[in-house]
């Protein structure tokens, strides 16, 4: 169980869930965006800051315990991958993510580091562990110049050829400060989808659109792409999601949380066409409520509230809601899993 939610926070999160979310949330959840790390999976002296709380691991065992608390009375399955940090032990993190996934509840993607991986190593890893796809990251592509990384550097042709031929999922956190507002990103994303139609590209965090200007008008050149999907991880802005729900078929929308970060207390907020997080604990990405003015719930509860509000605004049906929380991701994962025959089966 995670160490950072105090018993008081845990009880309060549960109360919010019971009062506001229990009636809304379907019985089955597929969380398409979860990170895991083996015991001591981070560097000594450099733990990962989860909303301001340092962690040294995030194992499947901890995840299973946390899912019970975060989604009471729900059946939850997840798509999991390591923490994409070039400083970490790449092989060990991938071996844990793939080797400890149970393929019943927990399905793994493989972190892709184009500077350390080769076509042979990626293919061998898929054969051995049954990875359902790839998780690239801007930090792997240009470690010394992360802000200017480009999508084709994150996903070189040899990797996309594998994803295309083996019909894999690709969980894409788009690079660059302007995100979807950056025309280069939009052009390269479109080219990626068109050129590799066998790959299924999941645009993580709706293209990191945590503020309304980050999405408005920017899906026009993307929404006709049959192999592009959108995950909602850490998006807590209901108007952003309502916009997405009206712009793309609901079959393209996947619920994702970004657990474990999503289990920390706080909220993502828009301010002057930007966003930040507000948290009760100091965190490098947030403004901290140092004067203790606010009572917080988890990022996850804030996200679920916002999805509910967006679903109401966009007039989604119960079937739509069940699809975005479960069926859409389940269908994708089942399709890939059926094809990937790995050594463990």
Question: With respect to Zn ion, which residue has the nearer C-beta, 12 or 113?
Answer: 113
How near is the Cβ of 183 to Zn ion at its closest, in Å?
Answer: 25
- The stretch among 125-133, 252-260, 297-305, 333-341 that binds Zn ion (CB under 5 A) is 252-260
Q: How many residues bind Zn ion (CB under 5 A)?
A: 1
Question: With respect to Zn ion, which residue has the nearer C-beta, 258 or 327?
Answer: 258
- The stretch among 14-22, 217-225, 254-262, 303-311 that binds Zn ion (CB under 5 A) is 254-262
Question: With respect to Zn ion, which residue has the nearer C-beta, 137 or 325?
Answer: 137
- Tokens representing 153? 């550097």
How near is the Cβ of 292 to Zn ion at its closest, in Å?
Answer: 29
Question: With respect to Zn ion, which residue has the nearer C-beta, 205 or 305?
Answer: 205
Q: 213: burial class by Cβ within 10 Å (0-12, 13-18, 19+)?
A: middle
Using CA atoms, how far apart are residues 344 and 139, in angstroms rounded to an integer?
31
Is residue 258 close enough to count as binding Zn ion by CB under 5 A? yes
Is residue 34 classed as helix, strand or coil in its secondary structure? strand
Q: CB-hemisphere CA count at 13 Å for 158?
A: 11
Using CA atoms, how far apart are residues 198 and 339, in angstroms rounded to an integer?
13
How near is the Cβ of 214 to Zn ion at its closest, in Å?
Answer: 17
Is residue 83 classed as helix, strand or coil in its secondary structure? coil
Q: CB-hemisphere CA count at 13 Å for 148?
A: 2
Question: With respect to Zn ion, which residue has the nearer C-beta, 301 or 320?
Answer: 301
Tell me the residue number closest to Zn ion, measured at CB.
258
How near is the Cβ of 335 to Zn ion at its closest, in Å?
Answer: 23
Q: Any idea what the Cα angle at residue 241 is, between residues 48 and 284, rounded to 5°?
A: 25
Q: Which helix (H) or strand (E) holds 230?
A: strand 228-231
- Tokens representing 45? 């002296």
What does DSSP assign to residue 263?
A: G
- The stretch among 46-54, 75-83, 211-219, 253-261 that binds Zn ion (CB under 5 A) is 253-261
- The stretch among 10-18, 138-146, 251-259, 304-312 that binds Zn ion (CB under 5 A) is 251-259
For tokens 């054969």, the residue is 127
How near is the Cβ of 35 to Zn ion at its closest, in Å?
Answer: 6
For tokens 């994150």, the residue is 154
- The stretch among 125-133, 256-264, 277-285, 311-319 that binds Zn ion (CB under 5 A) is 256-264
Using CA atoms, how far apart are residues 139 and 31, in angstroms rounded to an integer?
24
Is residue 327 close enough to count as binding Zn ion by CB under 5 A? no
Question: With respect to Zn ion, which residue has the nearer C-beta, 12 or 200?
Answer: 200
Question: With respect to Zn ion, which residue has the nearer C-beta, 258 or 302?
Answer: 258
Question: With respect to Zn ion, which residue has the nearer C-beta, 85 or 181?
Answer: 85
What is the DSSP pairing of strand 200-203 with strand 169-172?
parallel
H-state helical runs in the chain: 7-16, 60-70, 90-99, 119-129, 138-141, 151-154, 157-165, 183-195, 205-208, 238-247, 299-313, 318-322, 328-339
- The stretch among 193-201, 222-230, 258-266, 334-342 that binds Zn ion (CB under 5 A) is 258-266
How near is the Cβ of 284 to Zn ion at its closest, in Å?
Answer: 16
How near is the Cβ of 261 to Zn ion at its closest, in Å?
Answer: 7
How near is the Cβ of 81 to Zn ion at its closest, in Å?
Answer: 8
Positions touching Zn ion (CB under 5 A) are: 258
């Amino acid at each position: 169980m995670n160490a950072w939610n105090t018993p008081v926070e845990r009880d309060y999160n549960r109360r919010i869930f019971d009062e506001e979310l229990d009636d809304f949330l379907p019985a089955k959840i597929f969380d398409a965006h979860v990170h895991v790390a083996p015991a001591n999976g981070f560097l000594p002296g450099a733990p990962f800051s989860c909303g301001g709380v340092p962690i040294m691991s995030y194992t499947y065992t901890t995840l299973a315990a946390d899912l019970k608390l975060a989604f009471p009375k729900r059946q939850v399955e997840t798509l999991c991958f390591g923490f994409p940090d070039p400083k970490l032990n790449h092989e060990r993190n991938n071996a844990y993510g793939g080797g400890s996934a149970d393929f019943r509840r927990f399905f793994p993607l493989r972190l892709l580091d184009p500077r350390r991986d080769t076509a042979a190593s990626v293919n061998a890893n898929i054969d051995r562990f049954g990875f359902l796809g790839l998780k690239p990251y801007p930090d792997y592509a240009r470690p010394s110049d992360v802000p200017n990384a480009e999508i084709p550097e994150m996903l070189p042709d040899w990797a996309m050829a594998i994803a295309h031929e083996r019909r894999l999922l690709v969980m894409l956190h788009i690079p660059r400060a302007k995100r979807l507002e950056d025309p280069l990103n939009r052009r390269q994303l479109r080219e990626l989808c068109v050129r590799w139609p066998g790959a299924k590209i999941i645009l993580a965090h709706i293209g990191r659109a945590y503020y309304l200007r980050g999405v408005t008008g920017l899906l026009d050149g993307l929404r006709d792409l049959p192999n592009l999907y959108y995950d909602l991880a850490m998006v807590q802005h209901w108007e952003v999601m309502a916009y997405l729900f009206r712009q793309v078929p609901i079959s393209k929308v996947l619920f994702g949380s970004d657990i474990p970060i999503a289990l920390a207390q706080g909220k993502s907020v828009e301010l002057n066409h930007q966003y930040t997080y507000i948290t009760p604990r100091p965190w490098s990405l947030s403004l901290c409520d140092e004067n203790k003015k606010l009572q917080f719930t988890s990022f996850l509860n804030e996200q679920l509230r916002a999805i509910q509000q967006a679903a109401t605004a966009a007039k989604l049906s119960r079937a739509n809601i069940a699809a975005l929380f479960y069926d859409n991701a389940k269908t994708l994962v089942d399709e890939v899993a059926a094809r990937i025959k790995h050594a463990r089966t």
